[in-house]
Structure 1
Amino acid sequence: MQITETLAEGLKREYQIIITGADLDARVTEKLVEAQPEVAMKGFRKGKVPMALLRKQFGPRLLGEAMQEAVDGAMQDHLQGSGDRPAMQPDVKMVNENWKEGDDIVVAMSYEKLPEIPAVDFKAVKLEKLVAKPADADIDEALGNLAASAQNFETKKGKAADGDQIVIDFLGKLDGEPFDGGAAEDYPLVLGSGSFIPGFEEKLVGLKAGDEKSIDVTFPAEYGASHLAGKDVVFDITVKEVKKPVPAEVDDELAKKYGAESLDALKGQISERMAAEYTGAARQVLKRKLLDQLDTLVEFDLPSSLVEAEAGQIAHQLWHEENPEHQGHDHPEITPTDEHSKLAVRRVKLGLLLAELGQKNEVKVSDAEMTQAIMMQARQYPGQERAFFEFIQSNQAAQQQIRAPLFEDKVIDFIVELAEVTEKQITKDELKAAVDALEDE
């Protein structure tokens, strides 16, 4: 076996691998000798089939296996000896396509290797950690929102307005005849809630208790009941009562509606939730600023194959976000733009850097952390948690999708611990502005 380097340009490497015909023949013979004791053929006792007959019967298949094993072995030996880590699966092609049994095999192997990552001076990383605490006004605002959500309705005089609740009897008719599901009595409907088909609620605004009215509406073309889809119908309406929304009182009773023992306990829960939200938002800002600094602190060559693949993935993902009606991949070819490529360069660079820092500093994601993350995701599939858990356990790619962000966050935490970090107290609005600024960059 002979390996010759034919290209060493930047991160690109190309090699010619020659595997002799004698080596292949020896590999096939070894496999035949190993299998001979277990082979039985008509006219021969088990283990007594002549080698020539075995070679004729099984030689072609074993030759294919020997060729694959020889090429794979040569590639692995080279990678172990050189220390190269291919950025993607090496491209291996047979050169002498007119090869016949007994000839040497000539294979071309090419790949881009991962670059050497320079050391990072963590002391040069200077970060500002934003700290926001829930103010009393923030908690009061949240309580007001909860009270509005838990609103009651009280009878009012006069005309119904958007947001009011009206109690109605209604009867729907298609071509003058009542249809199934088109009638109800004493039905409480909040105007503007979108509970009924388009055009229904809007035509009830301005009515008052005791009014009777017939309204014309059209069922949507995609309506679930096919006999009503796209049909023009008439609803006879009788208004029984008009009610105005009244926010619930901010008291212990409101707290109990939301599972708290008292108003003070509810305030405590709101404060804890807000604090956690503020901490998460502040971490987003800190992480972005850290990644921005790391992007400028170190420079190294990037495998073009990884950048091109990442740019293609970014372009593909953004295209689907802009065209949500296309669920599959039966769409025109998507060509990455310069902006996609620029973002891909950053992602690949930071991804390689964080992976290297994590590996060198033995950052690991524990089994307990993985299990917790899987369980949190499983909650998104009520009733199917067990099936989701089993799917993740049997799917290495799915496991990696969960492990990757956990690993990245742990590497970020490791760097922050070593960096120079100062804290800055800010308000909720200032924190929101900082997070909004990330989306504009």
Structure 2
Amino acid sequence: MKLEKISNNRVKVTFDVTPAEFEHGLDHAFDHAKETVEVKGFRKGHVPRNIFEQKFGVESLYEDALNHVIGHKFDEVLSNKEIEVVGQPQVVDLDFASIKREESFSFALEVAIKPEVELGQYKGLEVAKVDATVTDADVEKEVKALLEQNAVLEVKETGSLENGDTAIFDFEGFVDGEAFDGGKAENFSLEIGSGQFIPGFEEGMVGLEVGASKDVDVTFPTEYHAENLAGKKAVFKVTLHEIKVKKGAELTDEWVKTLNRPNVETVEALNAEIRKSLETNKAAQAKNQLIDEVIDKAVANAKVDVPKEMIDTEIDYFKQNVEAQAKQYQLDLDTFIQLSGLTKEIFEQQALEQATKRVNQSLVIEAVGKKEALKATEQELSERYESLANQYNMSLEEIKKYVTNDLVERDVVFQKAVDFMVDSAVQK
């Protein structure tokens, strides 16, 4: 095996194949072929080798034999400690037509490998200091939102439809005078000003009185999820049946008790609980923002030539995660993308951008761990295994069957590298 580095993220490995090695491949190919062919006078799978070769020719086994040999040679590449393969191989320098059973021949595999990272500054990075202070206004905002969540709708007896009111109405949409699918509903409930409908629709309803009808002219956004409507002008015929207004709850100790929160029975206790929750959330957000900025700067300072194979693999992971989300709503991927307000092209671009970012981050963080010679202690490995076992509701013995020690160690070192960079950062 001769290994030649042809770029920072790709190598060519050349192999010589002896007649004995190729014969072993032919044996494997014959064992497979005899189960699929029918030869008169022999039961399926029992035709002798010499009879098979007389009838079909030994050359009929060459392709399968070669694939077997290539697979074994690729296993040798995978076990090589000098490189870490990140994609499937490409066969090069092979003259298939010249292969002969009794002669040696050679071929090469080009494979993508995890690239070396040229780190820039990653220690002592200057980052913005995030204010995680919780103000009285923050608490008041949360209390107000809680009151609104517990508000009830009451019929508005007089007056016209205003922002903040809830309209109960019928509507039907037309494009070029023709009704379209999904453009009609009866007794639909909509809070005016919520932005649930396309721009211009809710504004066009303001001022309507109960029992009145109106044509509302709108234009669908150019990036609307239904391509047959995107960018088109439409007319919605609406008839208003009822107007409802929110009646908010009053902030009293009695109302607080109705929330049934443990150890929270007064307005003062509610404010204290909300403040504590906000402080916890803001601290976590500040920490995450700090981590993101540190990693982004470390990546920007580094040089790395990422192979396409790594990006493609990460794109597959990204799409699998989105498909899993879609299945939770019993939707296929295309429908889920549309309902998310995206076109397929925009989704593909987002997948590419996210994958590229994640791969670059991962490579740089791993390089930092290697540069700083970070190691996982036995205690850290045990704690990580226990965390995984709890996360997946499995015993330690079960989780260790699925997650190797190498993977857990890599995970621990990865997190230690992130912590190392964050702890050394200078907040200004």
SS of equivalent to 1:162: coil
TM-score (norm 1): 0.55
1:326 to 326, 343, 351: 343
Task: Report matched runs for 1:7-86 at 5 Å.
Answer: 8-29=6-27, 50-56=48-54, 63-81=62-80, 83-86=82-85
Contact 1:152 1:245 in 2 (8 A): yes
Contact 1:128 1:421 in 2 (8 A): no
- Aligned: 1:289 with 2:321: no
Structure ID, larger Rg: 1
The answer for the alignment partner of 2:364 in structure 1 is 353
The answer for the alignment partner of 2:88 in structure 1 is 89
Query: Structure 1 residue 282: deviation in Å?
Result: 0.5
Query: Structure 1 residue 287: deviation in Å?
Result: 0.5
Gap runs ≥5 in structure 1: 174-179, 223-229, 376-392, 425-433, 435-441
The aligned length equals 357
The answer for the alignment partner of 2:255 in structure 1 is 254
- RMSD value over aligned CA atoms? 6.1
SS of equivalent to 2:98: coil
- Aligned: 1:138 with 2:138: yes
Task: Report matched runs for 1:172-191 at 5 Å.
Answer: none
SS of equivalent to 1:132: coil
Instruction: Say if 1:91 and 1:141 are closer, same or farther in 2 by CA, change over 3 A.
Output: same
Contact 2:162 2:192 in 1 (8 A): yes
Instruction: Say if 1:156 and 1:23 are closer, same or farther in 2 by CA, change over 3 A.
Output: closer
> 1: distance between equivalents of 2:4 and 2:126?
45
Contact 2:211 2:240 in 1 (8 A): yes
> 2: distance between equivalents of 1:300 and 1:131?
32
The answer for the alignment partner of 1:216 in structure 2 is 214
1:400-432 deviation digits (Å, cap 9, x = unpaired)? xxxx9xx879834554268646898xxxxxxxx
| Percent identity over paired residues | 16
1:315-343 deviation digits (Å, cap 9, x = unpaired)? x99xx99x955337999xx8x99xx79x9
Contact 2:163 2:193 in 1 (8 A): yes
> 2: distance between equivalents of 1:46 and 1:312?
44
TM-score (norm 2): 0.56
The answer for the alignment partner of 1:277 in structure 2 is 281
Query: Structure 1 residue 127: deviation in Å?
Result: 7.2
- Aligned: 1:114 with 2:114: yes
Task: Report matched runs for 1:161-180 at 5 Å.
Answer: 162-163=162-163
> 1: distance between equivalents of 2:166 and 2:81?
79
Instruction: Say if 1:268 and 1:56 are closer, same or farther in 2 by CA, change over 3 A.
Output: farther
SS of equivalent to 1:302: coil
Instruction: Say if 1:303 and 1:142 are closer, same or farther in 2 by CA, change over 3 A.
Output: closer
The answer for the alignment partner of 1:411 in structure 2 is 414
> 1: distance between equivalents of 2:85 and 2:154?
71
SS of equivalent to 1:205: coil
- Aligned: 1:205 with 2:207: yes
1:90-122 deviation digits (Å, cap 9, x = unpaired)? 322352142354254432322343345589998
SS of equivalent to 1:284: helix
Task: Report matched runs for 1:328-343 at 5 Å.
Answer: none
Query: Structure 1 residue 217: deviation in Å?
Result: 3.9
Query: Structure 1 residue 137: deviation in Å?
Result: 3.6
> 2: distance between equivalents of 1:10 and 1:167?
63
Instruction: Say if 1:374 and 1:201 are closer, same or farther in 2 by CA, change over 3 A.
Output: farther
SS of equivalent to 2:270: helix
Contact 1:132 1:279 in 2 (8 A): yes
Report the residue type matching 2:248 in the other structure. Answer: P
Instruction: Say if 1:294 and 1:141 are closer, same or farther in 2 by CA, change over 3 A.
Output: same
Contact 1:164 1:243 in 2 (8 A): no
Instruction: Say if 1:155 and 1:215 are closer, same or farther in 2 by CA, change over 3 A.
Output: closer
